[in-house]
Amino acid sequence: MKQPQSHMVYYLAWLMIGLFCGVFILLLRGDLILSHPDQQLADTTAQASSSYAEAVAIAAPAVVSIQSTAIVQDVTVEDQGLILQQLLGQEPPQQPKPRTDVSSGSGVVISADGYILTNYHVIANHGVIEVELYDGRLVTATLIGSDPETDIAVIKADIGMLPVLKIANIHQMKVGDVVLAIGDPFSIGQTVTQGIISATGRTRVSQNTYENFIQTDAAINPGNSGGALINTRGELVGINSNIFSSTGSYQGISFSIPIDLAKQVAESIIEHGYVVRGWLGVEGQELTQEVLQRLDLGTRHGILITDVDANGPGDQAGLRRGDIITRINQSRIANTNDVLNMIAAGRPGDEFLIEGIRQRQSFMTTAVLGQRPLMSR
């Protein structure tokens, strides 16, 4: 009759040993057992994001280094004196000496047959354009065309099939997303820097006519111009263009041209050799508080026309200096950048409905766009 009781004591002893071991393990590794599932997911994500080597491996072969060399004949005050002596029939003691002007930057392959996207300012004074590929090969490239108004240029290297980057969906891009800048700063060789998207839609940050920059804190220095800004999947987000700096070097604010804008410009350059844009032929300024008070207006949106090109599309549509444009094709106008982008997105021959205010009275007219004159290069 005592045998069952001995079995009970036996089981209780093993149960106590098991509980003791469980408590011991809990004390030693409680962080693993008690951690919240969300924390475990966050830890896993952090570990997965600790390296961007795969994205770089995808993108780096499509980023190139560019060197543009030109022979420049400087004309100084002394040179002008020598030229005057020549005009007077006198033999100058010494001729002005030409110098070699070298501009360095980066570029991104946008088609397998060798079209490369870069900044206009990289090849602005182009003579001989050399491209160094990812594998170290040096090739001579041809300038296909350029667009100073967006600081975009397209060159072509005839060397066979080249790796091409996948284009990112720019509409899925968010402030705070991690991005990587790839280029050749200071001509030291291909370099990768990392940051986040700090802002989008930046305007009035450089000398470009058309601006819609991505702002990032990824380090961009001289030589990075024309290089790639990519996301963590190795997709092309933008073309690195310039920096905001008081020293000429990186100070934490860099700008890239969104790839959708750069691609649109590049396609037009490849097709036509230049960019075809709509043209209205008016100049304007934004409605400051001073302007509103002077004109006794209550509206806070629109632009004030300050000049109208004679016989231009705006002139033919009846627009006058002093008019205020408030809407174009029923879209509200907030600033001069809105007008520039809307008109530039049109094609020569397109009809644009323009609404505005003239001498405190509403008016409406239709303008037929012309082709924007090419900016002198």
Residues 166, 182: Cα–Cα separation, whole Å? 15
Q: How far is CA 111 from the centre of its chain?
A: 19
Catalytic site residue from 65, 225, 256, 268: 225
Closest CA to 64 of 168, 141, 175: 141
Give the DSSP H/E element, type plus range, for residue 370: strand 370-371
Catalytic site residue from 147, 151, 184, 323: 151
What Cα–Cα distance (Å) separates residue 21 from each residue in 12, 16, 275, 342?
14, 9, 76, 73
Kindly report the length of the chain: 377
Q: Give the pair of three-digit tokens for residue 8.
A: 């009970």
Angle at 188 between CA 186 and CA 192, to 5 degrees: 90
Residues 6+ apart with CB under 8 A from 361: none
Residues 6+ apart with CB under 8 A from 68: 102, 103, 104, 105, 122, 123, 125, 126, 127, 128, 129, 130
Strand-pairing partners, residue 236, are 167, 230
Q: DSSP class of residue 359?
A: T
Residues 166, 172: Cα–Cα separation, whole Å? 15
Is 225 part of the annotated catalytic residue set? yes
Asked if residues 339 and 303 have their Cβ atoms less than 8 Å apart, the reply is yes
Q: Give the pair of three-digit tokens for residue 21.
A: 């071991």
Q: Give the pair of three-digit tokens for residue 300.
A: 């806070």
Angle at 80 between CA 75 and CA 81, to 5 degrees: 145
How many other C-beta atoms can be found within 10 angstroms of the C-beta atom of residue 374? Answer: 13
Q: How far is CA 193 from the centre of its chain?
A: 16
Catalytic site residue from 121, 126, 147, 217: 121
Is 121 part of the annotated catalytic residue set? yes
Active site residues: 121, 151, 225
